[in-house]
Every structure is written in structure tokens, then in C-alpha cells.
Structure 1
């Protein structure tokens, strides 16, 4: 992109308070001034005494005056004791908080808006100038507000906008005098002070003129570009979640302040504008801009500001029914798959939710520069190109499946999030957890052969269990105050853990209760806001009719233990000689030194038990430490499993005898008597229990011995994920060869069976297996794998037109590219780099970009990192995190990526923006392999020095440190144990 000459953030406002409007000057005599000064100091002393008296003796009082609103959040403490993390069980959200002692006044401001003024509707006119040298926009808006309490000020949000003028009128268009307009930049408040009072139960119009910059930070109203026929073409798009609508227009930018929006966009005649609602008409009355026209859009249904969207571009579209997919012209043919599956998923959801999609259209747009994967704006869903566009013969099966999932996720939001919206961001998980879970149902409805319901385990459940094992994790429902804290919880806990506990809840309530209650909840709250307690109440009411829960127990009582506490339990079962089972729970932590504090951590745990005969029974561990299940298992039964199909969000440990019996059962073809989901569970649980010292590594590693006979994808994915941790721990040691020999021995037969060549109409999960097994075989240096990959890459290099002639299997391209670049030198790298620059397919770009990090040449990797931070290098800003993660994954590049991040810290923050969510990804990936005290101490020192600059990445840094400390401890306590096992294991021929 090209920088313009204007400031990107309109930083002409000072850092605290800037005033706009009239200023009146008064002159007084010297003697009068002295008298007034004395009176002032007397009043100041009296006020101080009165304040001390009131704060010492009076209880808390709510006050909606914005000038007195302050909040002090509890200091973030390490979540060791669950009672420190268990939030009050009655969830309420208000805009004001109790007053606090004076010493805290400057520490944490209350960023919540007063509730006595709410928007009813907006009319917004915007003129974006999408041309080099003038990436700005001009805007004006009229907000119709409802006033419920007499007030002499109006407070709303504004950020990075220059306010030109403000007028306030009553419903009869009579002016209300504006005394002052000022910015509280810390809270991003635009405060309009009035000479008189707005009257309660009346409506008023607020008219604001403003200007802004189409920034290049991928937030708010921003600019993007692409090159076609050697010409750079510009567009403007929006990304408002969570708190960036205020960067595009002044607004009441909280999810509870729903309103109707009527959008009008001025655009150049050769471009197109789209918004949430259909266009009504187009007019030519753009003053002084003869090349522009106004597009007027239908007024929306009530919605939150973060869901407002508009895109101005020269894109084209293909349509089917109410669906249109927009893309740059040369990529439009890649939109066919999305426009095919979109209507199918929408139809499934309409039946699933029991509510017709309420808007007249859905636009889905592939944006060249986009910070997130996708954004669910109501009626105008925006996507990164790689998760919407699919090119047959170039894009992989995994890409096709990912596109189906992302489309399904965003369409699920049209109900869960858009139709019914969380009152505040602490219940973000209601949005993202439900959309993440339901996306698997939506994708499955399109193609059941993908086995999405099984894939959920390795895609979501296992991933969230890893993060949630840290002390520095957080509850699903977590108090958040400032924008950094809000952005901080867009993580695996809100998404994957949220989805996992919903899946668990569906399991113990039953499909019918869950489904009917979900429909009832949405119908009762449509176009409104909700908190998690609203959902719990509806689910409880529905469950009472068929007695799905224990007597006198509500869904809230059960689910509060999962949403308001950090972490999850490890459930341990011990079988007695008479067949009784003793089952207990304790919080699973990577650092078991803190296990003594976990006695207070108790959950309502749904227990399902399956014995070797296939008999399934159910019981509850009712927020108690231990239970005895009498005659749960017949004494002669050789083995049993707990957590059938891993529906529950917990790990399972057994007595040693049951582990050995399970391991014996897995040998030969015996594993087929256990469902593939539970085989994946056993591998994941055993390896993670061993990591934290709950189980011996001899048992955990013995579980993996059967893999020579495993052919299902889900167990193999679980195994590879866990074995890759050992890979990271051994790769920098002198014993990696022993690890490599064992891994090759268990996957060689499957590798030979799969081959590099796909058969026609193969099962999709077999294709995924081929991708995983062959990729890992090449990474381990299996000679046949490396030779085949290098040969295929060289054949591609030698083709007459490599940009159009590529015979490499799309599903194996990343493996082939990475292996050949790793085995080669600069020539191979430059060839792949040129293909990256020239390809028109975003999914291919992603694969090439990732593979470029596989070089073993330090200088090439250094240059690669440097290019990721260089404008116009060819690497888009949203791909910086991918570059860092890929270089970090390379054993040669891990230390390099970390050093580069440290040295270029200020430059990275400036390039990405200090509050960019990409910072979290960079921190996590750059510290991923740390396992020595020197590395931990170095990062800890860096973090302490720069802590104030970490912003949204603070929690990520804390989690990275905790993981690195756990890795270091593991090296001291378990490395030799695993090494000895590898030396003595019987290698399978």
C-alpha cells in the first residue's frame, strides 16, 4: 500500500480531553480575583472533608453522570483457587458501578456508557475518497435518541474522528443549545454538554458532522487494494468488532445499544457500494463531486453497531437466490463453491433454529486485506479471501472444508449473535461458542462424508483443553472493561471451550430438550440482548418437562461451574474388586505444584461409562470431590471407558490395571471395538496426563504402540498433535534420532499404503490422513518421502509455464513445497517466492507463504521476516502472523523469530498498530518451543520491560511464560524417562 500525506489517526486531539465549541472570556479585578481565590481554597478543603466523610460512611450508589463514573476492576490474580474465579452466580450487567476510594480514581475508568440515553435509529451519510493521496472520508449523521432521565449532556463513542459540528434538536426540530463538545480520549467518549436539559421520556435528534481517515490498520473504516493488469485498485471496507464502529462514525458502540440504521454511501460511478440492507435507489446529488453518486440503503432491523458494515469497491458478484458472493473480477470464478453451499447451510439453519432468516439478502465479500478470518455483519458477511474462495485443481480438500466451516460459522451468527446479541462482551462466548459448535452441524449438513461431528474433538475440544490447563487461562464468562481486555478474550476459551461445553450440555440434556429450548430462547429474545442466565433459564424450563436433570437442579447450577470457573477437571476412576467404581475429580493443571489449591475447584461432571461389552451407563459427579458408583462394572469385565465419545469437557485417568487392559485391547485389530473418538481421547488424555505428572510416561507412550494398525483420521490427528510436543522437546537435543526412529516405525506402513497419489472419489478423511502422514514422514526425513517431494517440485520448476502448469496434488502441495525448499537453497526459495507473487488463488498463496519459511538458510529466513514488515513487499499485513508462526515452526528459525520480534518490537507495534490482535499471535508463536531457564528468563525480562506495550497480548505473554516454564520443568523431570522408553521400546517392523 501507498502512504498518503495525512495522519492515519487524526491525532490532532490531545491525550486526555479536547474541547470543541464556543469559549467565553470574563475579566475581573485583582482584588476580586484574590477574594475568589481564597473562597476557592476554602471550598476545596470543605469538599475534601465531605468526600472523605461520605466515602468512609456511605454505601455505594449508582450514578449515571458520566463525569462521576469510575470503575476499579479486581487485580488480575493467578487463578489458583477456584473461589477467586467463581463469579457471583447471578449475572447482571449495568452501566454504572459502585463508587470507590479516591486513591483508585485514576487507575481504571468505567468505559460503559450511561443507560439513560439510548439510540433509536441512525441515518448515516458517508463519502469515502478511495484514491491515492486522499484516503479520507467525510460523514454526517442524525441519531434519534430516547431519553429516560433528565440530562444536560449526551455521551457516545468516537475514536480517531475529527468532529466538525454538533447540533441537537427536539422532535419538533427546535434547537437545543450546545454548550461544549469534548473528547474523553481515554474512554473514547464524545461528550456533548448542553445549556439546558433533555427531558425524560422524550426523543431528540443529534446531528454530527465528522471526518476520518481510511486507515491501513484493517480496523474501523479502512482501505484495501489489489493489483490487476499491473494497476493497483483500491477499495474501502469495514471491520467493527468489537469496538471499532466508533472509528467510522460517532455512535453508542456497545452491543446492548441496538438501533436501526439507514446508510447512504457516496461512491464513484465506476464503483459499487453494498451494506447490510438492499439498496433502495441511487441519486446524482453529490455536491461538488460530479463523478459521485449516492447509494441509499433500506433501513435495517434493530442491531448492534459492531454488525454495521459497508464495502465500496469495483468488485463483481455471482448470485443464487438471496445469496451473492463478491470478489475482485479475476477471482470471481473461485466464488462458485461458496455460493453453492451458502443457501444449503442457510436452509438447514432455518429449520434447526425454527426461525426464517429475517433479512432480504446476504452478501458475502472476499476482502484482499482482512484482519480476521471472517466477520458476521448482518446481511453483509466479510471474509479473508482464503476462507471464501476455492479453485478446483489448485485449492486443497482441507481448504474446501475450511471454507464450508467458516461460511457455516458466520451464517450461524445471523441467529446467534445478530438476532439475539449478548448484552456485554463478558458473554462473547454465547456468540462464538454457539457459532463454533453449530458450524460443525452446518458443514456436516452439506457433506456428511467429512465426518465433522468426529473432527470436532481434534479441531476444538483438544485444542481448548491445552490452553485451559494453564493457571493464566480465564473463565468463559469473564469480566472485561477496556477494548484490549475485550479483544483479549477472542481466543480458544470463548470459541472452542464455549463450543465444547455446549456440546457437553446437549449430551446430558438430550437432543430434543436442547433443540426446543434453543428455538424458544431465540424466539423470546429476537432483536434484543441476552445474558447466559437467560439461556440457562430457558433450558431449565424445557428440561423439567422430561426430567432430563437430577431433582431440584437447574441448568444454571450445573453450567455456572463450567462458565464461571477457570479450567476443567481430571476425573480419576479406580475399579474395586467387587465392580464398584470410585470416581474423583480435581482441577487439571500443567503445574501440579499448585494442585493443593484445587480442592475448591469442583464441577458438575456428567459421567458416562462404557464397558468392554458395549454397555453404557450414566451418573453425575455432583460438584463433589468423590463418589462411589456401586456395581458399575462387572468384576470379570477386562476394561471400561469413561466419557463416551468424549462428550464431556474433562480428562480421564484410570487405575494402572485398566490402562494396561485398554492398551492390550488396542493391539492388533482389537482397537476397532473402541470408537475412533474414544481412541483419540485415550491418546490425548494419556499424553497430557503424563506431561503434567498424573500418569507415567511408560503407560502413555504404550498407548501409541497400536498406531501401526490405526487407519482413522481422528486418532491419528490426536497422536500427531501430541507427538509433535515431544518432537519440539527432542529436536534440539542429541537424542532426536531415537524419537525419529520410533515415529517412522509407527507410520511407515500407513505411509506406504497411502502413497502420494489419490484415488478417485476417496473418502475425505482418508485425504486428510494422507496430508498428515506424508507431511510428517517428510518432516522426519523419511528418504522415500523426501525424494518424491523434491522430484515433484523440480518437475514443476522445469515446466514451460509454472504459473499455469502445476501437476502436484493440491492436497500435498504444502508438503512438497516445504520439503523441497528445506532440502534446497536460494534458487528453490526464489522460485517459490515468484510463484507466491504471481498466483491468483488465495489458498495457494497461503500454502506458498507458509512453505517459504521452511528454508534452512538463516539469511533467507531473516530476509523473509524483514519483508513481512515492509510495505509493498507482496506480503499483506494480515499475513504477518502466518510468516512469524511458520518461521518459528522451523527448528532453524525459532530462535531467529524470537530475536527478530524483540529487536523490532517498536517497529512491529507501529506497523501493526499497538492494539492489533496480531501481536498475540506473534508472541505465542515466537516463544512456542522455549524449554530452558535461559529462554524463560530472557522472555520474562523482556515482558517485564515492555509490559505496558503488550496491550491485547498481555494474557498471551503470561500464558506463553507459563507454558515455557512447564516445558522447562518437563525437560528436567521427564526428558530422560521418555528417552529411556525410546531406547528400550520394541521397534515395530
Structure 2
């Protein structure tokens, strides 16, 4: 009936309100329920089509509210598994303008697949206990109940949960009432679930505002909670805030709770739009795919929200700050105002990344330098992916549901956030945020497209933002600006940059509107920044006094790279090395990242990039060393099969980082600044990876003390990962077993991840195989990507990992294809290869596979391999000479 029509639902009827009743049986691990949906009929029809997937459906009936007719029952229904839809045909036609109520019963199984309404587990006194929760984004509400599962089809939801009396029920809204089941109070529920008795309870929740199906949320289990409140600056209301978790973990939720009490009011103030819900809860889950911004009930895995007050490491603390702030910002940007379709995913995720990981943390924790970290964490990775031919635009057409999950990547999150950050710098942050506020106010509870956001910012700035930003949003890639000095100024030309060089022909047609942001050093040594200039054509000459130090892309806010002459790079580097340089840390990060990327593209020599890095020896800024570390990790990974180059690169790394370890030592103090704490950790980790004997021996001795006495007091939380990895890499079976035992019962989520990375760092072939098998049969779903990433970083494990993936492809596909984890697994498993023979083998392996659901990740991984092969061919000789010439 609908096999040849588009996958989008027909528009003959639209939902306005759902009454959803769900019963959860955690003993049998099943759920059932019924939904009553109020519908507006926009076209005459006798058939109602909606989304459903994996559910057993009961007979549907319809009542015409406007005519008071008696209900009619379907004469047939057809399930379309591929389209994840069901079509109910009725014996009469419903006319345009009428209002209906559709009632459908359903049931399903609580699987452990991380999507829909699923189960997770925890341990209590040696017994496994279960709880259930939803993960409906992007298109899995249809796995929980029959619905119109498209973001623009907003409706209100009145949710009722039926569960065992000993459990807790949660949903988007506060509890309206909760009672022990009795047939007198709940006759309709009693008719639907005829085996209920006084062991069951019924929890009714208040009705939501109009919202999309993907942010509907509910959960049932034995949860404990912590509670506080926040006074809101606009409404003056006091909003109750809660953190929910299983009883064994709830003591680690205090930091996130306090954070939430700061972030929620700040977001209301910044957006100038009242938070519309009466509460905001967060549920922490042991097995979850990241975090999710369900309206009023944020959900996410342990690593996203929990901190053990007795074992706090800086990295874990920053994760909680960023992720919780990110999800809270979605309460406005995404939940109140929602993209019309998944083509505009970046409207949600790009802005939440910028807001939650830069603007909010900079307000609350300025000492963490979130804007500086953004360059390393988001801008650089986004440009690495976007430099591949297989990249995609920020705004990407999703004509097929199989593409939706694939675009949850660094382009929709990190590149989108980077482009928005560039725009905010160009128009001014205050103007930018005022424009965002207008956008929200103009589309409260509505659905939007890119143009709607640009209109809001244009209204404030008076600029044509649509024209300015179109190429950045709708086109793939980004430019490199080639700067040459001419009489009286500079000649600037833009070309699309690929990781293998400049794009040619049809791949180089885009002209970006590039904010140049030119910094010039004045006579007194202070910077002067001109943010007014935009390169909106292929090339142009700009007047500039080139006798002064200057730099384009001041603050590294632009999503582009800059190629200077070799002489100008030396002058910029000289200026950067001055104690009170006019160039910022952000400028330095951009220069290093550009040099490494341009050397990979053969636009400058790798040896020049390494010389620039070597010149940073006296630097004490953590984020500069973090950028250098990432660059050296990448280079070492690329030449992983050349033992001589690999060892010389290790020596270079030791020469850079060993002096920092000697200067900073191993003792962490509460009086240390975040910079010092993170730099110490970075230096020790780099020295351990580079085989610095003194550092490795120190870490091994600390782990040996733990093995001998069961006392981990000599392993600071910030050194946990480095210590575990050193113990296993340079140890034997005893160290491996000790870390394996830690993984079995980790104290914190950081401990868990550190243990995984350590287990994957073993050089023992038998232990590598054991670890691969454990990853498949013993690890939680959410841990599996960490295993693949860890094995990818271990040269001895890369090829065994690929063999293992190929041998177990069917099982991995079946287990993870419905989550974004499969995309990560593909990336981590294959992108490290560097030989043409490996590339050919992989192409051949996937040739007869159905790759539709991960085609983007596969194409990007293959491009990565091609880029590595080309880099090795072009730069090995240059690298060898530079390494040989080092003193």
C-alpha cells in the first residue's frame, strides 16, 4: 500500500495530544500499554498511518470527537517493517476538519539494545537487578509506543506509568498523583491489564507542553535521588532539581546537582526566555549511548554525570560540566524550538555544543578556559573530518532514515558549533545571543529551519546573515587562505583544502564568505584586531603594513586554515615566543594545528611543522601542549609500522615532555591551577607513551604497591590512566589480571575507562585475543567503543582487531547497528591502517556487505587510510632527514 511512497508520514492527519499508558514488568522484562491520540483531520481519509517498530499491536479503534459517533474498529492493519510504519484501515471515511481519537494497544520486550524503551542493569549484593528507560532520539519513540515520530509533529503528552509498588516512576513532567492500583480508581487500566493487583501502582504525570516525540521520556526502577532547587531570574519561580541514580551510585551525583542549579538559571538569563517546565530531573544510567536532552528528564551514562567526591580527576570533572551544560541548553534550543526535520540537526547540536561547552562554562568556571579548549576539542577534529572528500555539509539532506543516525557526528556537533562561534565573533557575542533569543521567541513550541535562525540574528545586527553563512552551512569542506605579501598589503586567495592537498575542478567550486579577523601588532606591542573584513570572492588584495607582525584568524575563531610564506611563519613564531606576545594562546593553537594539517596536505614540509613544535619547549600553557600531544600522537600513529622512525619520534617526544615532568613532578595539590594539574598529567602520559624509563618505572612502582597492598593511594585520580597503561604495557599477566579485576568492579567511571585503555595496551598476543573476546562477550555495550579505540592505539593490536571485527561482523552489526556506536566502531577499527594492501583488503571485505546504515563512516575511514598512505609517501624522506639531524 505505501511501499512506493516517500518514507515521511502522510499529512492527512496530525496529532495534537497523546494519552499514553505504559505498564513495566521488570521481573518478566516486558512492557505493554495503550495510547489514545487526538488527531486533526486535514484531508479526507479512511486510513491512518503512523510509526511503529518492534511492537505487537492490538486492534485499533477510532472515535470521532466532533460528531459524537460511536467508535469504529479497524478492518485491517498492515505493518511495514522497512519503513517502520503501520497503516490502519477503517470502514468509514473521516472528513477534513473533524477531530478523532485513535486508540491502540501495544506490547513489547525490554531489550538491552540502548534504543526505544529498553533495560539496563546494576548489581546489588551479587544479584543483577533491572530498570527500564527510554532513548527515543532520533527515530525510536516508535519502538516505545505507536506515534507520529517526526520532530515537527509536536503534541502534548499525558503519561501514566503502571509499575510494581516498590519502584520509582519518572517522566518529563512532575507526578500529578500516585496510588496503589484498584479497579474502582482505574477501571480503564484494569480492563487493559487484567492481572493487576495491590502490588502494582499507577503514577500519573502532568501534561507536557507541545513537544516532539523524540524527547518524550519515562523510566521505572529502584532509584534514589538527591534534590535541590534553583531560583529563576525571569519568572522568579523556584524550580526543583533532582539527580536520580541507583542506590549504589547516588552519592556521586552531588557535583552534577550543584552544577545544574547554576546552569539552568544562567541559560534562562542568556536566552531571555522562561524555562517552561515545573522541574528538571537527571537520570544516570549504567548503559547508555552518551546523554540525552529529554525535556524535564535528562538521561545519560555514568561518565556523563557522576563524580566520586573522593576521587575526582580534572578530565572527568570537565566532562560532567560540559555534558550537563550541553543537555540543559537543549531545554531551550531543541526542546522549546525544534528543527523541522533531521536535515537541520545542527540547529540543535551545534548550538548546544557552543552554548554548553563554551559560553556557559566560561561564565561559571572561567579558570577552565573553555573557549581555548574548544579549539582542540571541537574545531581541530571537525576540520580533520571535513578535509576528506567523503565529508558532508553541516545541513545535510536526510531523504532516507538510514542517514539520520549517521549524521550524529563531529560535523553536526563540532563543525556546526565552530561555524556558530565564528559568526558570534564576527557580529559580537552579545548581538549573536540577542539574535538567538529573538529566534526562540519567534518560534516558541514551533519547528524551524536554518533561515529562521539567520533571520533572528539579522534582525539584531542589520546584516544579511543568510548570505554570509550559506556556504558554511550548505557546502562541504572549508578553505585554506593562501597569503602572499605584495607592495602595500597582502594578496589572499581561498581554495578548498583536502587532507591530501588542494581540491581541484568540481571539488573546488565553493566560494566561502571568510571573516579574516586580521591582528596587527602595534608599536607598543599591543594587538589591534580588524573584524570587519570578509573575503567573499576567490582572491583579493588588502592594504596592510607588512613591516609589522600580523596574523589572520585572530583568536582562531574562523573555520579555515592559513598558509603563509615560510618567512612569515618564522616571524609569527618569533612573536609568539615573546613573554608578552600580542598573539594569544588561541593564536598559537591555530598556528600549530594549521602547520600540522598543511604538512599533511603537502603545502608545507612536515619538518617545518616539527621545528615549530620544537620551538615551544619553554611553554607552560597546558592547551598548547595538549595540541602538540595530539599532533605527535597522530604522526606516531601514521608511521607505526616503521620501527626506526617510531623510535626517533619517541625520542623527540621525550625531549619535549621529560623536562616538564622534572619541573612539575608527580604530586597533585588542591592549590594547583587547572592548567598545572592538566599539564602535569599530559607530560607524564606523553613520557610514558614515549618510553621514558624514569617515568615508566615510577608509574610501575606505584601500581606494584597497589598490587602488593591493595592500596591505591599512590595513584592520583589524574594519573590513573597513565599508571594502568604503563603497568600493562610494560608488565605481564599479573598486571593484566590486576587491571582486569579493577574493571570488574571499578570505583568510578574514570577508573572503568582507564582500565579498558590499559587492557587494550598489552603487547602480549594471547592477552590481546583475550581482550578482544571479552569486548564482545563480557563488556557493556557502551564500553565497546572504548575497547576499539584502545586497540586502535596499540600497534600490536591493530591487525588482530581488524581480523576479529571481520570474523564477528554479523554479531557486531546486529548488536550495534541501531545505535551510533557502530559508526564509532567502524572509525576506530579501520582508520589507523596505512598500507595500500590493507586498503584493498578492506574494500574487498565490505564489497558484499549491506553498508547503507554506516556508509558515511566507512567512506570516511577509507579516506583516512588513503590520506595516511599519501602522507607517508610524500613525507617519509623529509621526516627521516629531520629526525636524523636532531641533536
Name the residue aligned to 2:185. none
Any idea what the Cα deviations from partners look like across 1:243-268, whole Å, max 9, x if unmatched? 10000100000000000001111110
- Given the two structures, how large is their TM-score scaled by the length of structure 2? 0.95
Q: How does 1:107-506 map to 2 (within 5 A)?
A: 110-131=6-27, 134-171=28-65, 172=68, 174-283=70-179, 284-285=181-182, 287-290=194-197, 291-321=199-229, 322-370=240-288, 372-439=289-356, 440-506=358-424
Distance 1:825 1:672 in 2: 48
* Residues 1:854 and 2:758 are matched in the alignment: no
Shift of 1:823: 0.9
Name the residue aligned to 1:680. 589
Shift of 1:731: 2.8
* Residues 1:931 and 2:843 are matched in the alignment: no
- Find 2:740's aligned residue among 833, 850, 860: 833
Shift of 1:672: 3.7
Any idea what the Cα deviations from partners look like across 1:899-955, whole Å, max 9, x if unmatched? 110111112223x14333221111111113211111111111112122x1x343211
Distance 2:355 2:727 in 1: 39
Contact 1:342 1:407 in 2 (8 A): yes
Name the residue aligned to 1:843. 750
Distance 2:582 2:208 in 1: 54
- Find 1:695's aligned residue among 580, 583, 604: 604
Distance 1:185 1:826 in 2: 48
Name the residue aligned to 2:538. 625
Distance 2:645 2:500 in 1: 25
Name the residue aligned to 2:813. 909
Name the residue aligned to 1:721. 630
Any idea what the Cα deviations from partners look like across 1:686-722, whole Å, max 9, x if unmatched? 1100100112223322211222111112211111111
Name the residue aligned to 1:62. none
Shift of 1:594: 4.1
Distance 1:598 1:660 in 2: 32
Shift of 1:616: 2.0
Between stretches 826-835 and 238-247, larger displacement belongs to 826-835
Contact 2:16 2:37 in 1 (8 A): yes
Any idea what the Cα deviations from partners look like across 1:188-227, whole Å, max 9, x if unmatched? 1111112221111111000001111111111000011110
Q: How does 1:527-538 map to 2 (within 5 A)?
A: 527-538=445-456
SS of the residue 1:357 aligns to: coil
SS of the residue 1:615 aligns to: strand
* Residues 1:541 and 2:435 are matched in the alignment: no
* Structure 1 unmatched runs, 5+: 1-65, 71-109
Any idea what the Cα deviations from partners look like across 1:116-153, whole Å, max 9, x if unmatched? 3110100011111111xx22111111000011111121
SS of the residue 2:531 aligns to: strand
Distance 1:961 1:160 in 2: 33
- Find 2:854's aligned residue among 942, 953, 971: 953
- Find 1:600's aligned residue among 490, 500, 509: 509
- Given the two structures, how large is their TM-score scaled by the length of structure 1? 0.85
Name the residue aligned to 1:561. 471
Gap change, CA 1:164 and 1:598, over 3 Å in 2: closer
Distance 2:747 2:724 in 1: 18
SS of the residue 2:498 aligns to: coil
Distance 1:666 1:418 in 2: 43
Distance 1:123 1:410 in 2: 26
SS of the residue 1:636 aligns to: coil
Contact 1:118 1:146 in 2 (8 A): yes
SS of the residue 1:704 aligns to: helix
Name the residue aligned to 1:77. none
* Residues 1:778 and 2:696 are matched in the alignment: no
Distance 1:676 1:750 in 2: 18
Shift of 1:598: 4.0
Name the residue aligned to 2:186. none
- Find 1:522's aligned residue among 436, 440, 445: 440
Any idea what the Cα deviations from partners look like across 1:853-889, whole Å, max 9, x if unmatched? 111111112111111211xx3x211111111111121
* Residues 1:940 and 2:857 are matched in the alignment: no
* Structure 2 unmatched runs, 5+: 183-189, 230-239
Name the residue aligned to 1:794. 704
Distance 1:165 1:252 in 2: 18
Name the residue aligned to 2:863. 962
Any idea what the Cα deviations from partners look like across 1:624-673, whole Å, max 9, x if unmatched? 1001112x12x432x32100001111101112221122233345x45844
Distance 1:839 1:659 in 2: 48
Shift of 1:327: 0.8
User: Where in structure 1 do 4 or more consecutive aligned residues deviate above 6 Å?
Assistant: none
Distance 1:755 1:644 in 2: 34
Q: Cα RMSD (Å) of the superposition? A: 1.5
Shift of 1:567: 0.4
Distance 2:396 2:155 in 1: 26
Shift of 1:173: 5.1
Contact 2:657 2:684 in 1 (8 A): no
Shift of 1:533: 0.6
Name the residue aligned to 1:572. 482
Gap change, CA 1:259 and 1:69, over 3 Å in 2: farther
Any idea what the Cα deviations from partners look like across 1:331-356, whole Å, max 9, x if unmatched? 11101101111010111101000012
Q: How does 1:972-987 map to 2 (within 5 A)?
A: 972-985=873-886, 987=887
SS of the residue 1:496 aligns to: helix
Shift of 1:593: 6.8
Distance 1:642 1:226 in 2: 53
Any idea what the Cα deviations from partners look like across 1:529-581, whole Å, max 9, x if unmatched? 1111111112112211xxxx4xxxx11111111000000000111112x3311
Distance 1:68 1:234 in 2: 39
Name the residue aligned to 1:636. 547
- Bigger Rg over Cα: 1
Contact 1:484 1:915 in 2 (8 A): no
